[in-house]
Amino acid sequence: MLPESINPHVSLLESDTPQINLVRWMHQCELIKRYYEADYVFVVQKISHGYEILVSAIAAVPHFTSGQGFDRDVPLFLDLVNAMPDGVSIDLSKYQAGELPSDFDSCVGLLARPILWPDGSIFGCLCVLSHHKVENQSINSLMLEPFQILLQQDLALLCQSHRVESLSMRDRETGMLNHYGFIMMAPRQLNLGRRFGAHAGLIFFELENAGTGDPSLTEKHHRLLGNIVQHTIRTADIAAHYSDTLFVVLAFLDNERDLSHIVQRVQKQLQSQDPMLKLDFSYRFFTPDTSTKLGPMLTLAKENLKSWQASQKAKQEAKAE
């Protein structure tokens, strides 16, 4: 199973993946091209809307360049990524005119090996294209195995790095506790607060429309909200960057009204920093004599946030009508 922080349907070209050295992948393509005296060598990734060329060897005619995409219904790519691990060798002359994208025109021989994620799911494939028929097909296909293994090792390193990062208790972007850190630290602090008779509250913050993937909201805006939240809470309180768009605060209070005061302070600072940003929030209050654990309270607070967002959306739609 892949780490939750890795989306296999998003291109590596769009991801922040320092563990994957695409320049080295390109150099491997160059080596393969020289060895096979091929015309094109490239690595394809299967993504949500089809297939995308990640890297390729330099060619006399610029086909199969980095970032080039192909539709998901191209039958050739379906055959390539679903091939057995030892790869395939295909004579492209058997295809009828129009069955293949125009980039394959005049290409006859194709060697390919599938590339897999560490959990065995499909990542893409490594392709070698020539204007002539491939000789000694079984031997030539076997020679791609070291390159296939190298690329899959890089993907394994990427997944391992994400797993290690998920075990870290700090968020890399904001320096706050992350989801894991909050789950580890907050129950202990909550029990300590109850022992001393402190009231507590759980607050979720999210920028308005962040949950809908609004492209106008960037990492910069989320970092801004995170910084404001950190500077608003007191020393005994715990704040965390709970998910990509969500921030959570466990605050110790004198009474329930203090929750709304915290929210108002965050809203005021957010408005002063960027008047265009709006804030969604939800909170739950609990007294020191309650035995409710943190997990159910987190669930209730998140459900409240979703209900609040749904009601706000309904109001906006009613106004628009």
Mean pLDDT by 10 residues, the chain (321 residues): 86 85 94 90 93 93 90 86 84 79 86 92 92 67 87 93 80 82 88 86 84 67 89 89 89 89 92 87 84 82 82 74 64
In-domain check, residue 115 = yes
CA atoms within 13 A on the CB side of 39: 19
Which has the closest alpha carbon to 283: 310, 302, 264? 302
Inter-residue contact 204 to 283 (CB < 8 Å): yes
pLDDT at res. 154 = 94
Last residue of a domain, one of 166, 195, 213: 166
136: containing domain: 12-166
Cα–Cα distance for residue pair 240/72, rounded to 1 Å: 39
Report how many domains make up the chain. Answer: 2
Q: Which pair of structure tokens corresponds to residue 292?
A: 């409710």
In-domain check, residue 4 = no
Last residue of a domain, one of 143, 166, 189: 166
Do 234 and 149 belong together in one domain?
Answer: no
Do 35 and 137 belong together in one domain?
Answer: yes
Cα–Cα distance for residue pair 90/80, rounded to 1 Å: 10
In-domain check, residue 5 = no
CATH value at residue 118? 3.30.450.40
pTM given for the model: 0.60
33 CB burial (10 A radius; 0-12, 13-18, 19+): buried
pLDDT at res. 211 = 56
Cα–Cα distance for residue pair 27/196, rounded to 1 Å: 63
Q: What is the dihedral of CA 118, 120, 123, 126, to 10 degrees?
A: 90
